[in-house]
Structure 1
């Protein structure tokens, strides 16, 4: 015990002398510099700011303090005694060989890192093109090598072959990029605080039910929307099953249900049911969440029903088209007939009820080729050929073409990315006003709003009365259906006028808290913000306003946050059908789909940093 007590105690850096004035100030040692004569000991110098001696026989690097002849000579005599006393030429040759080896190693490392980066870049292109992963190994890499050899030289072609691009490698790269993208999205969602969901479900080519989710959140300078996941439903497509899939994803990524403010789906019972539906399950964990029925889906439902007389015309049209298009011989003969007559089009379009634009496009093409269709049906003794001789029937066809063309225009105006709900409400509101206008014009006997019908009535002796009466009855029912499916437009549209244009302080702001109304008045008097309002989109403007008026901006962005439709899901399902085909029916589509449709690029530098760079053999 006494032996340990007699040990000297280590002093702190600030200690060493009882009187601070007597302490010696420590001075920094001057770094030792390399001398050319050290080559005779087998040493060169590193290129670092603090030069260190490096043995060019074994590659060992010593400390800067060892840059002394005695230390270097000791290393040579103990480890490389056979090199003592050699000529200067010997040492220079060994140094040259050592530096050459270093250059080769650096080049190999550089090629490996570039090959890894190229592997990720090409894999991203494959994912975006929605092509099979094997296309790189089978086509892209051989084609690139051939082009490089012809345009540059064989050495360049051999370098390209070092990029690892096998089928399995590309699959791994796409999986890594997908995980990285979702990680970025989840991080942005957490930073935003609140987000809205868009959900839809479909059955793919292999019979698997896929649940697709998009998220909408406030980013730094705008509201962004992005794919969140595409998960396979393990069993039935019930609300409970869908909720379990979404809830598992939320728990995995530490997302909270109380930060989800809105959800947009179609009107299917499995989605909207208040008991066993998905929305009912979500309400149990977040009672404040709001549900939005897809506006495009509602528009399609409202325009789907037509009166029996017009429905009969539609049925006749479909039968004619199927007779010509569904039989290869008839299709070829009709195409020849159109070509000989110099028609603008040479084939009809098939009608598909689930494609909402199909009805208008199909009827328009039939009306444009009505003379050729009449000739063809008459030549083949088809019973429906006589309908083209009935001016009333053609008049009804012309009206259907006109009205469904207008409905298609409305449908297309509701589509598109990053379209906020207020803009979609305005489009629907504008169309309902047009319906009222068309009804009034029909009362006056004016059908000029429907150009094809108007032209047909002007060139034939068909009685106007019955046709106009039929048109007015259809417009009246169409207006009624739109009112039923869009009951929330009147309530929400005027209430949010202050969000549309905050510089016109109207009665719509009266439902705001007094403090928010004060902020709105300050905002409406700011000429700088008024200039910004004219130059930016509505969502960008309110993101800027939130920096100056946080409470008012947050309230406005909450109204702009929800999805107005399931357009993003529908478009992505089209991409899914390109990725998962009959030939790739066992593919787990999520990672490929996320990487393909993502607008957020993967962080390649982060991915490469965690991977070991290796070239292909």
Structure 2
């Protein structure tokens, strides 16, 4: 046919294979690595196409003298071929070992980066770690050959601050990938949302997620999102929606949203809850149970006046002048008191009030002695209150009742606690309140040890109820109930146990955030802060070997 042209041959489609006979005839071999090309045993040159013509041409064109010196089929040629093959195998083994050493150095670098980040240490501390390891080896290892070998291996590990920076990125990507994959598979998820600012006044939105991964219930940092401008409900809503879309997460799976009750979160029209409810109508909302319980600690009437007086006495001793504060501490040291100073109350810290009262009661006698010797005008008025038995009885009562409140608060805090656990603690405390009331009416004061010690010179023995420990509800469903047993009730249990009961995880995360991004590391980017916080809080473990295999590994220079 006129104008017909043959199709161009495609070598890749011909599926050519290496013939083992070419090793004897042309001194070529095929390395074991994937996609390898035939290689000449004499000059280590590889040919591009696996074809006998190409192999033969290379042999006769470049190694004609070898063919005449070692004729085909001769014993000398066979021995020479064995030597060439052994040399080639040794070189391949050395190359493989070299690559393995590089990967081991990479894995060591990853593990150091993981440890430093979990401990919230600066990236520059990695070089200090290397210096410490070398110093230890120099002192501990006696054998000189072993010392040189180990020292050489440690020096090859890349531990510069820029290397650790890259390792943190890889580690965070690895664990976040596992997290997002499990969240996508979860039937229900619960999220806790809170907002705070870092040391550079950058607002950070913390999102925590709780879900069942098929084996156990997990609580993980879902994301730390910077809020560059305003922190209104609309801005927070848009950030959360964008984050879920970016990582292919389904907002329809959110069964519960927990917040701290701020207006931007719970506004009826513009708040985050209202906006999310519009696109996820099945989602429920909860005001953090811990925040609700703290409202019970608000005082009024005579008890508020008593607390204010206690704070006045503490502030008078600690804050009137530096000299007065030093003299009080010196008096405590001279009298061998149990404590070295009074505590200052802080409304932001939930447990502060009970601890302040406890310390105040334990140092009562020392405070009275100091006020008697103090020449300040206010000291006489404050001393009069300290000697008033009614006033001190109210102080001891507040000390005991806030002790019970602190115990409840600590029981509500912590990770791995579902809404069922928190409601159970609250119901138990409500029952205790009636017991406390009866205890006060009968004047037995079994649950008010500080007040009882003050009211009686020979206090009765204190009754401490035994603490009953049992397996948690979540652990029971994970460990003993098969997914094929009671499918309906198991589905309900999974839904309830997935729900957060508080924003404790977010509040705790902000403490970690402030420990990571300090004024000494104030230039840290939002992305790096997110990565460091994820590594510092995650329960997932990275796959160091897989990360090392997927990257180009190099020794430290």
Pairwise same-fold verdict (TM > 0.5): yes
Count of residues paired in the alignment? 514
Residues 359 and 404, structure 1, Cα contact 8 Å, conserved in 2: yes
1:573 pairs with 2:506: no
Counterpart for residue 474 of structure 2: 539
Alignment of structure 1 residues 6-405 onto 2, 5 Å: 38=24, 42=27, 55-60=40-45, 75-85=58-68, 98-99=88-89, 101-137=91-127, 139-150=128-139, 151=141, 152-303=146-297, 305-326=298-319, 328-381=322-375, 382-383=379-380, 384-405=382-403
Residues 149 and 155, structure 1, Cα contact 8 Å, conserved in 2: no
Residues 195 and 260, structure 1, Cα contact 8 Å, conserved in 2: yes
Normalising by structure 1, we get a TM-score of: 0.76
Counterpart for residue 418 of structure 1: 416
Please state how far the C-alpha of 1:406 moved relative to its aligned partner: 0.6
Relative to structure 1, the CA distance from residue 559 to residue 445 in structure 2 (aligned partners, 3 Å threshold; closer, same or farther) is: same
Counterpart for residue 615 of structure 1: 555
Alignment of structure 1 residues 427-466 onto 2, 5 Å: 427-459=425-457
Please state how far the C-alpha of 1:342 moved relative to its aligned partner: 2.2
Relative to structure 1, the CA distance from residue 575 to residue 71 in structure 2 (aligned partners, 3 Å threshold; closer, same or farther) is: closer
| CA offset digits 1:10-52 (Å, max 9, x no partner) | xxxxxxxxxxxxxxxxxxx9x85899xx5x965678679xxx9
Relative to structure 1, the CA distance from residue 191 to residue 569 in structure 2 (aligned partners, 3 Å threshold; closer, same or farther) is: same
Residues 347 and 353, structure 2, Cα contact 8 Å, conserved in 1: yes
Output the aligned Cα RMSD: 3.4
CA distance in 2, matches of 1:362, 1:5: 96
| Mean Cα deviation higher: 100-109 or 178-187 | 100-109
Residues 47 and 54, structure 2, Cα contact 8 Å, conserved in 1: no
1:559 pairs with 2:499: no
- Structure 2 residues without counterparts, runs of 5 or longer: 8-16, 71-75, 459-468
Residues 546 and 552, structure 1, Cα contact 8 Å, conserved in 2: no
Residues 34 and 45, structure 1, Cα contact 8 Å, conserved in 2: no
Residues 221 and 540, structure 1, Cα contact 8 Å, conserved in 2: no
Relative to structure 1, the CA distance from residue 261 to residue 86 in structure 2 (aligned partners, 3 Å threshold; closer, same or farther) is: same
CA distance in 2, matches of 1:351, 1:289: 38
Alignment of structure 1 residues 586-605 onto 2, 5 Å: 586-587=523-524, 588=526, 589-605=529-545
Alignment of structure 1 residues 488-503 onto 2, 5 Å: none
- Structure 1 residues without counterparts, runs of 5 or longer: 8-28, 461-533
CA distance in 1, matches of 2:384, 2:493: 59
Please state how far the C-alpha of 1:316 moved relative to its aligned partner: 2.4
CA distance in 1, matches of 2:541, 2:322: 45
Q: Secondary structure at the match of 1:433?
A: helix
Q: Secondary structure at the match of 2:445?
A: coil
| CA offset digits 1:338-375 (Å, max 9, x no partner) | 23222222222221111010111111011111111222
CA distance in 2, matches of 1:395, 1:612: 72
| CA offset digits 1:536-575 (Å, max 9, x no partner) | 6422443534332323211222122210011111111111
Q: Secondary structure at the match of 2:208?
A: strand
CA distance in 1, matches of 2:6, 2:103: 58
Residues 216 and 226, structure 1, Cα contact 8 Å, conserved in 2: yes
Counterpart for residue 17 of structure 1: none
CA distance in 2, matches of 1:181, 1:148: 33
Please state how far the C-alpha of 1:397 moved relative to its aligned partner: 1.2
Relative to structure 1, the CA distance from residue 318 to residue 608 in structure 2 (aligned partners, 3 Å threshold; closer, same or farther) is: same
Residues 103 and 549, structure 2, Cα contact 8 Å, conserved in 1: no
Please state how far the C-alpha of 1:600 moved relative to its aligned partner: 1.3
CA distance in 2, matches of 1:402, 1:373: 20
Alignment of structure 1 residues 461-476 onto 2, 5 Å: none
Normalising by structure 2, we get a TM-score of: 0.83
